[in-house]
Amino acid sequence: MTSHWAESGEGRRARVFRVQLLNRVLAHFGLSLDDWSGSVYVLRDRKGRAEVVADLGSLWATAERLAGQKLDPLDPDLLRTLRG
């Protein structure tokens, strides 16, 4: 399995930081992301459904599918939350 360009050459600390940052954004849409042994990610919704995400390149499409809607990263409420 090949890594997405954003993950190449990274250390464990960088991956943990990235998951924390992504969780701040994903929480706004009712989703959360976990790192599974440094090899894949697990994306979950509040209903308990989960999907394995191979790399960050496929994260957003998987998040939209799991949320059942288009997710706007420039949503004004999201941006207020992130600034807050």
Angle CA 28–76–48, to nearest 5: 15
User: Tokens representing 11?
Assistant: 């250390």
* CA-CA-CA-CA torsion sign (49, 19, 54, 12): negative
Give residue 6's pLDDT: 58
pLDDT of residue 82: 93
Type of residue at 30: G
Pairing of strands 40-45, 31-36: antiparallel
Q: What is the pLDDT of residues 19-77, one digit of tens each?
A: 999 999 999 999 999 999 888 999 999 999 999 999 989 999 999 999 999 999 999 99
**Given this model, what pLDDT does residue 12 score?**
81
The domain limits of the chain are: 5-83
Using the predicted structure, report yes or no on whether residue 16 has a pLDDT greater than 60: yes
**Contact by Cβ (8 Å): 16, 35:** yes
pLDDT at 22: 96
